[in-house]
């Protein structure tokens, strides 16, 4: 499968930002700016408290709803957690799993993220699964080793059919929220390596169809150059997703 048959995926990770009213306003402002665009899948991931309200705003639009995380149980005595089933109930089609901030601040291991990924897919959610190296790992020459571990351990046990509901988001951790962006060549090199790992472990059919998003300080100004790379299939957008016009401009750059 060539890149032309992989539909770009552009998602906005709003992180821990926006009250419910602000989230509703942002979704309402975004909708008309991307209406009629069918050359990309578009997702927004608000905070949990705003999911239902934003989902109501997005109904009937071409923007899908995603969450930023989920747990590995359907229900029970897990104070403060939320299940994939609850996310589906709130209107979500997607969730992010394995974001570098979850790995770093909350100590989420490859094995735990694999459990999360498997459970979310089993519940019927689509998943953007995040991987990526730190600056120390890149400069220390262990980038490929880190990415290999994250892919092999993180995707362990998945079957070919599961990958229809999975995208990988490559986040160079040194480029998140720093304003530093991987060059198109650096992004392409990492994405091509990730695709080769997936091919090695899951076969060419899976690897060629898999969408790999870039997730490090994507902006309207660099999105066009990045998306032109053969293995870059969209974006997981942070800061630029908090403004409707800048996020819409990234979507437009992709299509």
* DSSP codes of every residue in 144-211: HHHHHHHHHHHTTT--GGGGGGEEEEE--GGGSSSS----HHHHHHHHHHHHHHHHHHH-HHHHHH-E
- CA–CA distances in Å: residue 253 to residues 38, 120, 141, 183: 13, 30, 33, 17
Task: Specify the length of the chain in residues.
Answer: 255
Active-site entry in 64, 108, 133, 171: 171
Known catalytic residue at 191 = no
- CA–CA distances in Å: residue 230 to residues 76, 187, 220, 249: 44, 10, 19, 21
Separation of CA 3 from chain center: 18
CA distance 85 to 253: 34
Known catalytic residue at 137 = no
- CA–CA distances in Å: residue 210 to residues 194, 206, 221, 251: 10, 6, 25, 19
Active-site entry in 99, 133, 137, 191: 99
Structure tokens at 24: 């509703």
Residues belonging to the active site: 99, 171
């Amino acid at each position: 499968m060539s890149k032309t048959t992989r539909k770009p995926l552009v998602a906005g990770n709003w992180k821990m930002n926006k009250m419910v009213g602000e989230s509703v306003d942002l979704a309402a402002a975004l909708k008309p700016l991307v209406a009629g665009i069918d050359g990309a899948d578009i997702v927004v991931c608000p905070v949990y408290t705003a999911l239902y309200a934003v989902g109501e705003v997005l109904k009937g639009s071409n923007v899908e709803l995603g969450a930023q995380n989920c747990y590995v149980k359907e229900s029970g005595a897990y104070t403060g957690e939320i299940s994939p089933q609850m996310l589906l109930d709130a209107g979500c089609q997607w969730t992010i799993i394995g974001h570098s901030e979850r790995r770093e601040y909350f100590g989420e291991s490859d094995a735990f993220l694999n459990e999360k990924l498997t459970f979310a897919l089993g519940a019927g959610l689509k998943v953007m699964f995040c991987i990526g190296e730190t600056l120390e790992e890149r400069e220390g020459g262990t980038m490929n080793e880190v990415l290999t571990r994250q892919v092999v351990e993180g995707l362990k046990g998945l079957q070919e059919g599961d990958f229809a509901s999975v995208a990988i988001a490559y986040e160079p951790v040194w480029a998140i929220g720093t304003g530093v962006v991987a060059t198109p060549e650096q992004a392409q090199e990492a994405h091509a390596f990730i695709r080769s790992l997936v091919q090695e472990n899951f076969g060419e059919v899976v690897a060629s169809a898999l969408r790999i998003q870039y997730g490090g300080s994507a902006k309207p100004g660099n999105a066009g150059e990045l998306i032109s790379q053969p293995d870059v299939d969209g974006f997981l957008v942070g800061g630029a997703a908090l403004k409707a016009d800048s996020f819409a401009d990234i979507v437009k750059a992709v299509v």
